[in-house]
Chains A and B, each alone.
Chain A
Amino acid sequence: MKLEYILYGFGILFCLAGVGYLAAEYVRYLSEAGKLVSLLLTVGLFAFLGKYFDSLGW
């Protein structure tokens, strides 16, 4: 059971690293409007995720 959680942790870390790398690579090609929309969507993403986990009782 513990090993599974460790593997989940590694999976999540690799996913975040991959998404972070792609974001860093392509954010410089975004227009100013694209950057603003991305920022708003990121805020929305974390806000809705927070509400979801909140409703789960975390």
Chain B
Amino acid sequence: MAAKRKNLYLYLALACFLGLIAVFTVDGYLGVYDTIYITAGEQEQKIEADFWLRQDRVWSTGVNWDEKVFFRYEVDNRQFTKYSADITVSVWRSQEKVHELLLQPMSIAAFKQGKLEWVLDTAELKTEDISPEQGYEFSVIVNRGEIERKVIVHISPSAYPTKPVPATRG
């Protein structure tokens, strides 16, 4: 009887361990996860999927006028089935869409990765009502199906405006 109970404790401990592995596999590993890489200036920022898990999270980055921001969007399909979604990337300011950067369907096989790249050229965001001497904020919104990721880009005026170089006499 005592030996039976002794083994029961061991089996229960093993069951807990297997339960932990099952929770980590099903809840932690399986699913669709996306990562955004942003390169502004010489710095690359990596926004991993867990950042977005808390609701209403917004990432922000900064750049000067006339500079470019490079985005790389990676979607990791950790499911047993193919994943398909339409990816749209747009730039917004004051609740108004000002620029469409990307509109592309994405299809990823099971346990594979999909990748998309785009560039935000701040020079293209200049309009008549925008003064390059002032700083502005734009939202880059990435939609993957129903899921939305928001990155705020602070555009600062250049600290040292470029001066025209005088022509040299040959």
| Cβ A29 vs Cβ B16 within 8 A | no
Choose among B13, B20, B29, B53 the residue that contacts A49 (Cβ–Cβ < 8 A). Answer: B13
The main secondary structure of chain A at its interface with chain B is: helix
B interface list, Cβ under 8 A from A: 2, 5-6, 9-10, 12-13, 16-17, 19-20, 23-24, 27-29, 31, 33, 49-50, 53
Choose among A29, A45, A49, A56 the residue that contacts B49 (Cβ–Cβ < 8 A). Answer: A29
| Cβ B29 vs Cβ A26 within 8 A | yes
Q: For chains A and B in complex, what number of residue pairs have CB atoms within 8 angstroms?
A: 63
Please count how many residues in chain A sit with their CB below 8 Å of the partner chain's CB atoms: 22
| Cβ A42 vs Cβ B28 within 8 A | no
Give the CA-CA distance A14 to B24 in the complex, in Å: 20
| Cβ A30 vs Cβ B24 within 8 A | yes
Give the CA-CA distance A15 to B31 in the complex, in Å: 26
Q: What is the chain B residue whose CB lies nearest that of A42? A: B20
